[in-house]
Amino acid sequence: IEEALLFSRTLLKRLDSFQYFAECRHIEQNIYTNLSTLCLEYNDFHSAKRFSDIAIEKAKKYTLVYEKVCSELNHAIACIKLTGDESAYEVIKQNMLIIRYLKFDDLHEHFSSFLKKFEIEVNV
């Protein structure tokens, strides 16, 4: 995980020079989403929450709907594991309904298995 964090920090610094390219903004947001996912995989819920907060803000700023859904799901999982935040269950439910409606079956399966892994039950 440390190697991924180091690589990501280096990449984010270099991307700063190319902010006028739309693809760079998308890459920047994806890095934060992927870091939050990696942190969840390693049960580092504080870092997962921090990275998903940034990812959500970037997704809102650049109007990246798919990425916002993924980042909000990561954030909600981290919040539940950290504090048992009841409102996070509703966020999960709403976003799982969105990905089901959009027929993102692989993504739905990914997050369903993530929820199962972390023993989070949500009726969707």
Average pLDDT, the chain: 88
Share of the chain above pLDDT 90, in %: 71
* Other CB atoms within 10 A of residue 46 CB: 11
Q: How far is CA 103 from the centre of its chain?
A: 19
DSSP H/E element including 55: helix 45-62
Q: How far is CA 73 from the centre of its chain?
A: 6
Share of the chain above pLDDT 70, in %: 81
Instruction: Collect all residues with Cβ–Cβ distance below 8 Å to 115 and sequence separation of at least 6.
Output: 77, 92, 121, 122
| Mean predicted confidence (pLDDT) in 6-30 | 65
Residue found under tokens 């999960």: 92
Q: What are phi and psi of 85, to 5 degrees?
A: -50, 115
Listed by start position, the domains of the chain span 2-87
State pLDDT tens for residues 78-100: 999 999 999 999 999 999 999 99
State pLDDT tens for residues 23-45: 667 788 888 999 999 999 999 99
State the pLDDT confidence band at 124, using cuts at 50, 70 and 90: confident
Compute, in degrees rounded to 10, the torsion defined by CA atoms 49, 91, 98, 109. 60
